[in-house]
Amino acid sequence: MRKTLSSPEVRKPARAALTGGVVAGDQVFVSGQMAYDPEIDGIPADMDAAAQTKVIMDNIGHLLASEGMDHGDIVKVTIFLTDLSDLRAMNEVYSSYVSEPYPARSTVEVSGLAIPNGRVEIEAHAIRRGS
């Protein structure tokens, strides 16, 4: 059985055909998260990679919590950066949310992200512990 993952704490653009992710049994596939602010319909231009990563990791936490899970259930993440020079700042924040055994991770530099001023996007795959 498959269902949509959502949380009232995580806001997305109203005009987009997006979901917070998909729950399939004991697995949760969290869609790519960005630091979207609906009050400005985007991401503040002065928001650096560290601040964006904090919002993103909080959003992932809210989405996982809606299924009784947390960051410790994450087994794989993919991180998209528009500039690899942001890797250190992103990693400092990201590392405060995960612990050993760390999730498998891929980090790639991309030419752009879907929301203007986006510097970081993170997607995650989690499996309920004990499954």
* DSSP of the chain: -EEEE--TT----TTS---SEEEETTEEEEEEE---BTTTTB--TT--HHHHHHHHHHHHHHHHHTTT--GGGEEEEEEEES-GGGHHHHHHHHHTT--SSPPEEEEEE-S--SSTT--EEEEEEEE-TT-
If you average pLDDT over residues 40-60, what whole number do you get? 96
- Tell whether pTM > 0.85: yes
If you average pLDDT over residues 85-110, what whole number do you get? 98
pLDDT at 13 > cutoff 70: no
pLDDT at 88 > cutoff 90: yes
pLDDT at 47 > cutoff 90: yes
Mean pLDDT, the chain, whole residue set: 93
Q: Which domains does the chain have, with CATH numbers?
A: 2-127 (3.30.1330.40)
